[in-house]
Chains A and B, each alone.
Chain A
Amino acid sequence: MMDKMLVSPSPHIHAAVSTRTLMRDVIIALVPAIVVSVLFYGWSELLVLAVSVASCVLLEWAVTKWLLHKPSTISDLSAVVTGLLLAMNLPCTTPWWVVFIGAVIAICVAKLTFGGIGQNIFNPAITGRVFLLISFPTYMTDWTVPQGFITKVDAFSGATLLGIVNEQGAGAVAGLDYLQTLFLNIGGSAGEISALALLAGFVYLVVRKVIKPWITLSIFATVAIISGIFCAVDPATFTGPLFNLLTGGLILGACFMATDYVTSPMNNVAGIIYGFGIGFIVMMIRYFGSYPEGVSFAILIMNMAVPLLNRAFHQHKYGRA
C-alpha cells in the first residue's frame, strides 16, 4: 500500500540550526579578520592559518578514529573554529611545528581528553596558545612583521603596543592615533590587527543570534571602567580605556573566545559576572603582571569558574515570581 510511516514523539519539526550551522556562522564571522591579516602579513600568516586548521581537523579525526573509536566529529566544524582561533592568536612568524604542537594541546589535551565537543572545561584554542606562550616564549613574542600582500614595507620587527607599555610605561604611547588603531594596528598576532574587522564579526554573530552580547559587553565595560579609574588617578603610569579596549587580544578574546558556548556560563547574569571577572583579571595582568597581555590567562582562569556560575545562577521560572 504505502511506505511505513514514521512515528515519533512530538515535536515533529526542528529549527534549521545545528552545531554545524553555528560553527559555520562563527567561521563566517572570522572571515573579515582573516582577510585583513592575510592581506597585511602575507604568505607566512596564510601558512600559520593553514597548518593550524589542518592539524586541528586531522588530529581530531585521527584521535576519534584510532584512539577513542568514536564516530568522527570533524563534520561539526568545531575543530576548524579551534584551528582558526589558535592561528589568530599566534605571531605569523611562528614555525609550523610550533603551530602543530599548539594544535595537539588544543585538540588532544584540552578538548578530546575531556570527552570532545561540549565537554571541555577550558577553551581549546586558548589552552594551546598559553601552552606555546609558556613553552616557546621566544617564538611567541617575536613580532617581526613580514612582507604582506598589500604592504610595501620590508620586514620590520615591531613590538606590540602593550609590550612597549610594559617595558617603557604608559607615556610611550601617549600620542597614539586611536582612530588608526581601530582600523589597523600592524604588529601583534592576526587577531590583533583590525578591531573593526573583529567587531564586524561580533555584530554578525549577535544579529544571527549565534551568541548573546552580554559577556562581551561586560568585558568591555569592566576594562573601560577599571582603566578609566586607574588612568584618572595616575595617567603617567596607567594607560587609558581607549588604549586598553583597542589594543592586544582583548577584542578577539571578548568577542570570539570568551563567548565560546562550552566554556562560558549559560545564564545571562552569570555571563555578566564571568565577563567582569575576565575584564578584571586582564586589567590586573596588564597593569601589574610581568606579561604585557593577559586576555588568554583571564579567560582560562574564568573558565574554571564556569561550573560554579552555572550552578549558582538559574533562569527565572514562570509562575515563581
Chain B
Amino acid sequence: MRKLTFSKGGVHPNDSKYSRECGIEVLPLPQVVYVSMAQHLGAPAKPIVNVGDFVKAGQVIAEPGGFISAFVHSPVSGTVKSIGPRKDLAGNNMTHVEIAVEGDIWADGIDLSDTLVTEIPQDRETILKKIQECGVVGLGGATFPAHVKLNPAPGKVAECLIINGAECEPYLTSDYRIMIERSKEIAVGAAIMQKVLNGCPCVIGIEENKPEAVNAMSAAISDLKLQNIEVKVLKKRYPQGGEKQLIDAVMHRQVRSGGLPIDVGAVVQNAATALAVYEAVQKNKPLVTNTLTVTGDCLPENRQHNYLFRIGIPLSYIIEYAGGVPEGAAKIISGGPMMGKAVANIDAATVKGSSSILYLSKQSTLRKEESNCIRCGRCADACPMGLEPFLLNRLIKAGDMEGLEDRSVQDCIECGCCLYSCPANIPLLDRIRPAKAAVLGIIKSRNIKK
C-alpha cells in the first residue's frame, strides 16, 4: 500500500514507544478528585452544583460557558467539597470542583457493559445533541468541542472524515492501545460521525510504525461490514497527526491561511474522540474517562503503563500509583515531547485532554546554550507550514510586526520542528509563539474595525 504523507517539512524524531506492549489497566479511584472547569478550548464551564451536594459518576456538574464550550460531568460519585480556584498544570488558578469519592455509583441510564452496540438508529440531530450533552471534546490535543466541529456551518459540506490515529508524537501510546483493544468501538464511533456528516467517506490514518493498530482497525471494519471506511497507512514523520498535515496527506488538499479544515471539506477527529463518541451515543456514557500513558526515557521497562483513568484524578496520585517519579527524571510532561506541556505543579488534576505523564531525563530535555545562527536553513526545511523561522526570529528581534504578518507568522502551528532541528539551539518557537499571538491580535482588531 502506498504510504501517505504531507508535502512539506517535518522531522523524524526517534519514536521511543516504550509502552506500546503495555495493555490498558484501570486506575483505581483516589479519595478525592478535582474537576477543572477549563478542560476544553473556549469559555470555561459554569458549575451547577453546590458544596455539599452528592453527585453520581456521569452526572452533569457544569454547563457550557459559551458557544465554544462543553459540559463537564462528575467522574466519580461523592460529595462536592469545594468549588473554587485551584492551581492547574501550569500553576495558574482555575475554578475546580472538588469531589470526595464515596463508592462508585453511576448516574441512571449509563450502560457500563462491554456489549458492542453497532446499530445507529438515532438521527443526526439526536446524535449531535448527545455528543454535546456528554461533553465530548477533541482528544487529539486542542480539546475543541466535538459537536461544533461535527456540525459544519451552513454551506460547508464535509467530503471526508479523517480519524487521526497517527499518534506522531514520540513516546505516546494511548491511542495505539485503544486502537488495538477498542478497535470495534472506534470503528462504530467513526460510523456515527459519518452519519452526522451525512454519510461522507471516512479515512482512518495510522502511521506505519503501528502495523498492529492498522491490522486491528482493518479487521474491525471488515468484521462489522462497515461501508465507506478505510484504513490508510501514513509515513512515520512528525507532525503527521497535525490537522492540516493530515488533511494534506489524506486528501491532498491544503487549508488556506486563516481557514478551517471544513473549507476544504475535511473534518478531523482523533481516534480517542471516536471512542468517546461511541460511548456517548451508544452507551450514554459521558466523557469522564480517558487513556493515559505513563512513560519516559528514564523509566524502567516494567514501569511503563497505559491507564484508563477518571478525568479529574490528580497527576500526583497517578505518579504515586505508578511508583513515583523515577530516578533521573528532570522534567515531567503532560502530553508528547514535541507539543506537550511541562508540568509545573504535579498536584494539578488531569483533564479531558490529558494523554500522558512523560518523564524525560536531563540529558534528553535540557536546553543547550544558544549560539549564532549559521543560516543552514534547517528550520525552514523542517517547518511543515513552509515558514522561515530564522527570518521570523530576525523580524521579532527587529520588532517588525508588519514583516511578521507578511511572512505568515500567524500560520505557525507551534509543532516545534524548528527548535527541534536547529543546530545552534536557537529557541525559535519560544520567540515565535508570543509574536504569533501578537500578530493574531492585530489581525483580529483590524477585522473588528472593518
Which A residues are within 8 Å of any B CB, using their own CB? 2-3, 5-15, 17-19, 21-22, 73, 76, 78, 115-119, 261-262, 266-267, 314-321
Secondary structure dominating the interface of A: loop
**Contact of A15 with B330 at beta-carbon distance under 8 Å, contacts A6-B342, A118-B373 already known:** no
Q: B225: shortest Cβ distance to chain A, in Å?
A: 37
Q: Cα distance A18–B367 when bound, in Å?
A: 12
Is the beta-carbon distance between B424 and A7 smaller than 8 angstroms? no
Q: A13: shortest Cβ distance to chain B, in Å?
A: 4
Which residues does chain B contribute within 8 Å of A261, judged by CB atoms? Answer: 374-377
Would you give the 0/1 interface string for B352-363, flagging 1 where the beta carbon is closer than 8 Å to chain A? 000000001010
Which residue in A14, A21, A266 is a CB contact (below 8 Å) of B377?
Answer: A266
Which residue in A10, A73, A316 is a CB contact (below 8 Å) of B414?
Answer: A10
Is the beta-carbon distance between B330 and A118 smaller than 8 angstroms? no
Q: Cα distance A280–B331 when bound, in Å?
A: 54
**Contact size range, B:** 35 or more
Segment 316-354 of B: residues with Cβ below 8 Å from A: 325, 329-333, 335, 337-344, 346
**Contact of A5 with B331 at beta-carbon distance under 8 Å, contacts A10-B341, A266-B377, A321-B254 already known:** yes
Q: How many cross-chain pairs have Cβ atoms below 8 Å apart between A and B?
A: 153
Which residues does chain B contribute within 8 Å of A116, judged by CB atoms? Answer: 372
Which A residue's beta carbon lies closest to that of B91?
A: A7
A sample of 21 cross-chain residue pairs with beta-carbon separation below 8 angstroms, ordered by A number, consists of A3-B330, A5-B342, A7-B343, A8-B331, A8-B367, A9-B342, A10-B338, A12-B333, A15-B11, A17-B421, A73-B371, A76-B371, A115-B372, A117-B372, A261-B376, A262-B375, A266-B376, A315-B380, A318-B7, A320-B257, A321-B254
Which residues does chain A contribute within 8 Å of B424, judged by CB atoms? Answer: 18-19, 118
Is the beta-carbon distance between A19 and B371 smaller than 8 angstroms? yes
Q: A122: shortest Cβ distance to chain B, in Å?
A: 14
Segment 352-400 of B: residues with Cβ below 8 Å from A: 360, 362, 364-368, 371-378, 380, 384-388, 390-391
Is the beta-carbon distance between A317 and B170 smaller than 8 angstroms? no
**Contact of A318 with B244 at beta-carbon distance under 8 Å, contacts A13-B364, A18-B368, A22-B376 already known:** yes
Q: Cα distance A267–B342 when bound, in Å?
A: 34
Which residue in A5, A7, A12, A267 is a CB contact (below 8 Å) of B337?
Answer: A12
Is the beta-carbon distance between A9 and B433 smaller than 8 angstroms? yes
Is the beta-carbon distance between B364 and A117 smaller than 8 angstroms? no
Q: Is B8 an interface residue (CB 8 A)?
A: yes
Which A residue's beta carbon lies closest to that of B366?
A: A6
Q: Cα distance A3–B326 when bound, in Å?
A: 11
List 17 additional A-B contacts (Cβ < 8 Å) besides A18-B368, A76-B371: A3-B330, A6-B331, A6-B342, A6-B366, A9-B342, A12-B365, A13-B338, A13-B365, A15-B420, A22-B374, A22-B376, A118-B372, A266-B390, A317-B257, A317-B386, A319-B255, A320-B408
